[in-house]
């Protein structure tokens, strides 16, 4: 591949443009705001500067690569690019309009992709004349750090399109995982959703922010779930949570503390305040005032919840959702789930992966514990039918979903 177009020069678009230029692709960015284009270029420049400071790139190389990126307010240059990544605001109508505009200007064989996190790829494809040339290319934030890219095959996406996106992901030095059909949250966010929400339910049961995050970190997660909500952005997490709830129903009913924090003006790390306090972007411990801010969503007093209990609840909801994901054919294998979770969330590799760990416990044990929580905590722990089937047949995930 020689060149790509990126529409939307914000956080993700700027990051994707820099990544592509780093790998010697010519990049044309387009936005509707002049400030966003200059911001995207500035972001790319600062990442190259950092690479030079760290001795990863010679100054001349960095300058040459940076020159591969250009941007503007029109679609100039889009007629000759090999692939386009759409990274505009997370709104279906905006995306459909942008994709139609791109399709009208791009060469016939150009592959169109969307970086959406939570919208339906199939619904976007309906706006296109050549839906076979379109698929999802879901990068994670920050683009230069996160190794995973989900390659999403829509209903109409052709094999050539999937292969082209897959090859580009490899060319960009990232790890592709193929999501075999459109679905809420694709693979990683679908499994992460119940996990983040369960962290909120733990707060609702009286756990302290630090206790929840410490338990997850002791298990091996790079960052606890509540810190992760702050990191993702409380507004973004709330939007994603709503979408998952609408699509997946009651088990994703947002936990009261996550709803309550979403109703404040706290944004998480980017705004300097969330569940934690931040000083110049660095977390300075959980905010002691957060429980007052959460009001009725948490009990008046904190209770000590056993670390093993916290960890069990957080891990079991992920395993249960992963069983559903496999059953629905969202990805091809248990190994794909594990690859996605390790590369997309930092799930501890020494556990072998989420489902390798489930197999080690054995699906029978996972089912028994999930059923115990269903009794205690309600239907969000209703065991997935695939989990039940495996347990009853005495089979493991890796054996049943090779």
| Catalytic machinery residues | 138
Which x/- pattern over 127-156 shows residues binding ligand NAD (rule: CB under 6 A)? ------------xxx---------------
Judged by CB under 6 A, does residue 31 bind ligand NAD? yes
Tokens 């936005």 label which residue? 31
What distance in Å separates the CA atoms of residue 139 and residue 87, rounded to the nearest whole number? 10
Which x/- pattern over 94-113 shows residues binding ligand NAD (rule: CB under 6 A)? x---x---------------
Return the closest-CA partner of residue 309 out of 229, 369, 225, 255. Answer: 369
CB atoms within 10 A of CB 235: 15
Which x/- pattern over 217-246 shows residues binding ligand NAD (rule: CB under 6 A)? -------------------x----------
CB of 381 to ligand NAD, least distance (A): 28
In three-state secondary structure terms, 181 is coil
Judged by CB under 6 A, does residue 8 bind ligand NAD? yes
Judged by CB under 6 A, does residue 189 bind ligand NAD? no
What distance in Å separates the CA atoms of residue 277 and residue 344, rounded to the nearest whole number? 25
Contact predicate 161/133, CB 8 Å: yes
CB atoms within 10 A of CB 103: 19
User: Among 8-16, 219-227, 243-251, 379-387, which window interacts with ligand NAD (CB under 6 A)?
Assistant: 8-16
Nearer to ligand NAD, 211 or 230 (CB): 230
- Dihedral sign for Cα 104, 106, 110, 114, please: negative
Nearer to ligand NAD, 120 or 320 (CB): 120
Nearer to ligand NAD, 270 or 395 (CB): 270
Return the closest-CA partner of residue 211 out of 277, 345, 308. Answer: 308
Judged by CB under 6 A, does residue 88 bind ligand NAD? yes
Judged by CB under 6 A, does residue 117 bind ligand NAD? yes
Judged by CB under 6 A, does residue 12 bind ligand NAD? yes
CB of 16 to ligand NAD, least distance (A): 9
Q: Which DSSP state fits 402?
A: -
User: Among 28-36, 259-267, 301-309, 325-333, which window interacts with ligand NAD (CB under 6 A)?
Assistant: 28-36
Among 113, 115, 161, 164, binds ligand NAD (CB under 6 A): 115
Among 4, 5, 6, 9, binds ligand NAD (CB under 6 A): 9
CB atoms within 10 A of CB 349: 13
Contact predicate 98/88, CB 8 Å: yes
CB of 15 to ligand NAD, least distance (A): 8
Judged by CB under 6 A, does residue 383 bind ligand NAD? no
Q: Which DSSP state fits 249?
A: -
150's enclosing H/E stretch is strand 148-152
Judged by CB under 6 A, does residue 257 bind ligand NAD? no
Judged by CB under 6 A, does residue 89 bind ligand NAD? yes
Beta strands in 25-116 (DSSP E): 26-30, 69-72, 83-86, 111-114
Judged by CB under 6 A, does residue 247 bind ligand NAD? no
Q: Which DSSP state fits 111?
A: E
In three-state secondary structure terms, 147 is coil
How many residues form the binding site for ligand NAD (CB under 6 A)?
25
Burial 161-189 (b: 16+ CB within 10 A, else e): bbebbbebbeebebebbbbbbbbbbbbbb
Judged by CB under 6 A, does residue 20 bind ligand NAD? no
Q: Which residues bind ligand NAD (CB under 6 A)?
A: 7-13, 30-33, 36, 87-90, 94, 98, 115-117, 139-141, 236
């Amino acid at each position: 591949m020689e060149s790509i177009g990126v529409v939307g020069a914000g956080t993700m678009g700027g990051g994707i443009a820099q990544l592509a230029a780093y790998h010697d692709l010519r990049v044309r960015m387009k936005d509707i705001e002049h400030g966003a284009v200059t911001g995207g270029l500035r972001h790319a420049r600062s990442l190259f500067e950092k690479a030079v400071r760290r001795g990863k790139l010679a100054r001349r190389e960095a300058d040459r690569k940076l020159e591969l990126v250009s941007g503007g307010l029109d679609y100039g240059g889009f007629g000759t690019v090999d692939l386009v990544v759409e990274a505009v605001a997370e709104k279906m109508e905006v995306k459909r309009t942008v994709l139609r505009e791109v399709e009208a200007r791009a060469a016939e064989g150009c592959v169109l992709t969307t970086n959406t996190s939570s919208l339906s790829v199939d619904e976007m494809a309906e706006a296109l004349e050549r839906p076979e040339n379109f698929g999802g290319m879901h990068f994670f934030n920050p683009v230069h750090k996160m190794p995973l890219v989900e390659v999403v095959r829509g209903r109409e996406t052709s094999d050539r399109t999937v292969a082209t996106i897959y090859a580009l992901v490899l060319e960009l030095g990232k790890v592709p995982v193929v999501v075999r059909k459109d679905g809420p949250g694709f693979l990683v966010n679908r499994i992460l959703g119940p996990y983040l929400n369960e962290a909120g339910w733990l707060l609702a049961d009286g756990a302290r922010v630090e206790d929840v995050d410490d338990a997850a970190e002791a298990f091996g997660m790079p960052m606890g779930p509540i810190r992760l909500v702050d990191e993702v952005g409380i507004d973004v997490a709330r939007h994603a949570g709503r979408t998952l709830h609408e699509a997946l129903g009651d088990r994703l009913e947002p936990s009261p503390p996550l709803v309550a924090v979403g109703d404040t003006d706290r944004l998480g790390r980017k705004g300097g305040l969330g569940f934690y306090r931040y000083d110049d972007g660095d977390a300075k411990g959980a905010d002691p005032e957060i429980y007052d801010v959460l009001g009725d969503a948490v009990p008046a007093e904190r209770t000590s919840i056993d670390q093993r209990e916290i960890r069990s609840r957080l891990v079991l909801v992920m395993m249960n959702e992963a069983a559903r994901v496999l059953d629905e054919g969202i990805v091809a294998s248990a190994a794909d789930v594990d690859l996605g979770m390790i590369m997309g969330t930092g799930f501890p590799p020494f556990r072998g992966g989420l489902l390798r760990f489930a197999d080690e416990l054995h699906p029978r044990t996972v089912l028994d514990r999930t059923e115990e929580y269903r009794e205690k905590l309600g239907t969000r722990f209703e065991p997935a039918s695939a989990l039940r089937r495996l347990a009853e047949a005495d089979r493991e995930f890796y054996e049943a979903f090779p």
